Structure 1
Amino acid sequence: MAVAVDTSTRTLVSRVQLNRPRGRIVYWSVLVLTLVVFTLVFIGPLYMMVTGGLKTTAEAIQSPPTLYPHKITPGTYSTAWTQLNLAKLLTNTLIYAFGALLLQLVFDISAAYAFSKLRPVLGNLVLGAMLATLMIPAMVLIVPQYLTAIDVPILHVNLLNTPWAIWLPSVANAFNIFLLKRFFDSIPQELLDAASIDGAGSIRILWSIVLPMSRPIISVVSIFALVAVWKDFLWPLLAEPSPTKQTLNAGIYSLSQGVPENVLIAASAISAVPTILFFLFFQRNIMAGLTAGSLKG
């Protein structure tokens, strides 16, 4: 009697091989080894950073580094919080991050909606030019961006040491506009046409129909906008020369003179906590938003 084999699901290792003892041993060995290696690669630096803040200064600069603190000094974290004025730097970073997020949502959503549904003349050409900017290394844009910030064309305003120096460069984000446009493309045009027949204008359609349906991708863009400002280092260091107005990363660097190594490591660990929490709380939104809009229907 012939045994039917289910071939509807294609995998790297066939079911026949997995049913054999040797196949199962090899499969699980490779899987466990891969998981352990990748876990060590990604978790290892975080572990060394957190434990480095618990070490004494002598042990923190020891080479080769120790795998765990021989003498735990938890007071290093409170010292880092007060000595480096992390509360002020954290407040600055929150203001810059959420201000950039608000401006990005307003302008990037408007641009993506125009490219996707309004279809302006030469819209594809403009979109292609915007996407082409993703190929330009960020370091190349630092100098012209800085020259623009110290003397804004036409207005002739100096934006240094103001939140606008952080907010405005983050607005035109080609990658976020592309993500939003791809999602808007998946919204049935018939639904928008029906609303238009009922008398709804373009802005009303965007506000009442498109945005409520676009919550997954808006969540992803919001997370990307917040994390981009949070992890940026060079531009906030140039745009906000005053240490009292800098972000966490730039402020820790500016105030690091004469600070022990274990205190700096503890400060770095504290600055990494918000982004880790962002990912843990919103990882489902990230995956759902990145895959949303890939299929029409």
Structure 2
Amino acid sequence: MAAFTQQNRTLISSATLSRPRAKFVYWTVLTLVVAVFTLVFLGPLYWMVTGGFKSAQEVLANPPTLFPKHPKASNYSDAWSELKIARLLFNTFYYAFGALLFQLVFDVAAAYAISKLRPVLGNLILGMMLATLMIPAAVLIVPQYMTVLDIPLLHVNLIGTPWAIWLPTVANGFNIFLLKRFFDSIPEDLMAAAKIDGAGPLRTLWSIVLPMSRPILGVVSIFAVVNVWKDFLWPMLVEPDPKNQPINIGINSLSQGVPQNVLIAALAISAVPTLLIFLLFQRNIMSGLTAGSLKG
């Protein structure tokens, strides 16, 4: 049988691209599409960053200016001091990494139990978890608020405490699904070998499963931190004290009487950590999302 080389199938064949005119049209269209999407996604970020360098009058000017006429870097230092950005950033990191800790403990345990321990009605439980992803988050605001206002059986009010932010983030159906799918890709031979050596479920999880699951654990960690960082409505409801609010809510609470340009500078500062997280770990995010999707 004649040997053949496998080629990637694309919308435009390599023979067509070899023609000068087709090659010119292809790269022109590709460049335009990439440029348009870049402007759409980076445009708001550009206006936010440059707006922090403008004066209050220039921010409100109509039509708006593309570049600051007289850049004022002092707007950023004023935003840092007037809006207490350092304190708000500490609060945000505190809430984000607390939520991360709880998610890693409980979501990993749930995914491991469904994937490897295989309890009775495990598939039904997983289906119910995934069904929660179809429910809009706004629909759950009222029942969640009533729950943290008066915890059933315990009758404890969590409003104004970090627990009101941490606990609702624990049961994350999407993270459990990602972890479960990765755990499914771990060979059963390893699990059987660990059982023969006398390792129990917890020892197997700690010594075998978790060391092999670093890519997906990194993705879940990034998602947990970013979700808490960008959340607005829920922290505003459960944490009324501006001193203890995360940065998104704190800037809103402390913005009374603050010039518009200084407020925009504060918003630009608040966006920096999440952008750095994405730029530093984008490869980990993509590799973790695709990890466990193929077996064999």
Q: CA deviation at 1:6?
A: 6.1
Instruction: Provide TM-score, normalisation by structure 1.
Output: 0.97
**Which residue of structure 2 aligns with residue 234 of structure 1?**
233
After the TM superposition, which residues 275-290 of structure 1 pair with which residues of structure 2 at under 5 Å, given as runs? 275-290=274-289
2:37 partner SS: helix
Q: CA RMSD in A?
A: 1.2
- Asked if residue 78 in structure 1 is aligned to residue 85 in structure 2, the reply is no
Q: CA deviation at 1:12?
A: 1.0
Instruction: Provide TM-score, normalisation by structure 2.
Output: 0.97
Which range is displaced more, 35-44 or 94-103? 35-44
Q: CA deviation at 1:63?
A: 2.3
**Which residue of structure 1 aligns with residue 98 of structure 2?**
99
**Which residue of structure 2 aligns with residue 160 of structure 1?**
159
Unaligned runs of 5+ in 2: none
2 CA distance for matches of 1:180 and 1:7?
Answer: 33
- Asked if residue 216 in structure 1 is aligned to residue 215 in structure 2, the reply is yes
Q: Percent identity?
A: 70
Q: CA deviation at 1:64?
A: 2.5
**Which residue of structure 1 aligns with residue 194 of structure 2?**
195
2 CA distance for matches of 1:7 and 1:208?
Answer: 40
Q: CA deviation at 1:43?
A: 1.3
**Which residue of structure 2 aligns with residue 34 of structure 1?**
33
2 CA distance for matches of 1:142 and 1:151?
Answer: 14
Deviations 1:56-109 (A, max 9, x none): 001111222211101111100011111111111111000000000000000000
- Asked if residue 44 in structure 1 is aligned to residue 43 in structure 2, the reply is yes
Letter in 2 for 1:198: D
2 CA distance for matches of 1:172 and 1:280?
Answer: 27
1 CA distance for matches of 2:63 and 2:133?
Answer: 40
**Which residue of structure 2 aligns with residue 204 of structure 1?**
203
Q: CA deviation at 1:8?
A: 2.5
- Asked if residue 186 in structure 1 is aligned to residue 188 in structure 2, the reply is no
**Which residue of structure 1 aligns with residue 140 of structure 2?**
141
Q: CA deviation at 1:7?
A: 6.1
**Which residue of structure 2 aligns with residue 17 of structure 1?**
16
Q: CA deviation at 1:9?
A: 1.9
- Asked if residue 59 in structure 1 is aligned to residue 58 in structure 2, the reply is yes
1 CA distance for matches of 2:73 and 2:59?
Answer: 13
Unaligned runs of 5+ in 1: none
1 CA distance for matches of 2:122 and 2:8?
Answer: 41
* Paired residue total: 294
2 CA distance for matches of 1:19 and 1:263?
Answer: 54
Q: CA deviation at 1:38?
A: 1.1
When residues 193 and 181 of structure 1 are mapped into structure 2, their CA distance, relative to the original with a 3 A threshold, is same
Letter in 1 for 2:236: L
**Which residue of structure 1 aligns with residue 108 of structure 2?**
109
